[in-house]
Structure 1
Amino acid sequence: LDQHIGGLISIIIFTLVFYGVFAYVREIVCIAICPYGRLQGVLLDDQSITVAYDHRRGEPRGKQQKDATTTHGDCVDCKLCVHVCPTGIDIRNGLQLECVSCTACIDACDTVMDKIGKPKKLIGFYPMGEIEGTLKKKSNTRAIAYSIVLIALMSVFSFLLFNRSQVDGRLLRAKGSTYQLRADKTISNLYSLELINKSGKEMPFKLVCDDPRLTIQLVNPIQKLSKDGHATLSFFLIIANKDVETYKSNVKLAIYSGDKKVESLKTTFIAPPGMN
């Protein structure tokens, strides 16, 4: 349990959040939390095809029978489109922030149109400008601008993906330890290093300290990481008493695979000065 407590806590939080969403929050997620509705205001214009009610056909609303002559529009005001909407909106009031384009209202309305002998798609996919009569000549300015933003984001993502570290490392001081005074007039600190191989292939490696005063003594020598594998090393950093200048100093370690540095790690080294 101690080895997987982080994953366990994450799963518990994830489960509780989704239980709350489906049991209590429900459509509020679509209305107030999900960013899709917010993005509509930025991304849509009068040429964008959306789920819409054709008020030119539907108004004025009123009850009618199949094949009957009437002055009403095709909408019979059954409100079935409202009943089937997961967010509870009336699509006949126009495009709204809460609409998630699930098309449940389209299916419901088409069923009613079949029953009264009217053409389908009273509610369907339409450009808002077509319904409102304000459809203008298409401009590519917005499409070009968002394409540039999308390309920039994809470039950044690709750069991060292809330049990620081949090895992930976590360097910690050994629990409950400080420094050790040795008989050969040196001082050592014990560390634990966890490595994860993300290169997709077997990787030989070695651990190197950037500070020439410090030497590394491995407790459990491991020289290779298996494909997608991980390893835990314990090692001492050792320094001569005469080389200690401060009680606490910053230390940098590097992991090399061949001649290539694949990861850099930082830690601290503790030793009392003046122990000559």
Structure 2
Amino acid sequence: MDVPTVLERAEWESLAAAHHARVDAWVDPHLARRRAGVKHPVEDFLFGYYSFRPAALRRWHPGYGVGLVGLDAPERGYETVDGVTRVAASVLEDREPLLREVRALLAATAARAPHFGCFGLHEWAMVHRLDQEEVRHAAWPLRLGTAGTDEVVESHRIACSHFDAFRFFTPSARPLNTLRPGRDDRPSYEQPACLHAGMDLYKHAFRLVPLVPSSLVADCFELARDIRTLDMRASPYDLSALGHSPVRIETPEGKQEYVAAQRGFAERGAPLRARLLEECDRLLG
């Protein structure tokens, strides 16, 4: 049996401070915009779409099995024995069904061949045949206008494999998708090149807190944030005023640019997915 790691106060306080500094660079601008009532379609997405609050992202956790010496006020779900504080075994027991669910999805996704032919058309399908004032980010104009946007959707083969993207397709766009991913059959569809599957590594990580270390959650957040930038640059919206040049996926050159970036994110996501799988296997014992 492995001997659990024990960190002295100076050690874990240093790790926690480094985590806070890293996360504050993402959290502080978001909170400032929220106080000012200013929305940002790229930077705010991870805080609005996912259920993990900024304060929870900022909170540092060492991961299950790591003991902390000198912790004054343990978080909920922790227990202190002989002056050493760890995540309680009851938390692991309660999360076992979730661990198995997450592991099954991660393993199925990792085993599937990547598909690089979607070109980010999910964002286009979400505004198909909508007027400008009806689209989700109505404050930002459509680069090609409504008619031009609809033409892109209708002239391409759409093969979205991610349910949480597909479910936001407009009624007119849903029949155009060649796949029918559902809420309960994600392991049958998700593939490692999908931008949403890459962003969802963050979701899988934070759902396992405090069992997994915050460093892994932050790594997944950083990847998801970068993916979201590509997602919106390749979308039908004109975000040049925010400094985001468009990836014109309606052109051959834009498609090449998108696929190159997509490959890079798939390569970055693979080791994070592997780390999450390793954590699930470790925790499931």
Structure (1 or 2) with the greater helix fraction: 2
Structures share fold, TM-score greater than 0.5: no
- TM-score scaled by structure 2? 0.19
Relative to the length of structure 1, the TM-score reads 0.19
Q: Which has the higher contact order (CA 8 A, sep 6+)?
A: 2
- Please say which structure displays the higher CA radius of gyration: 1
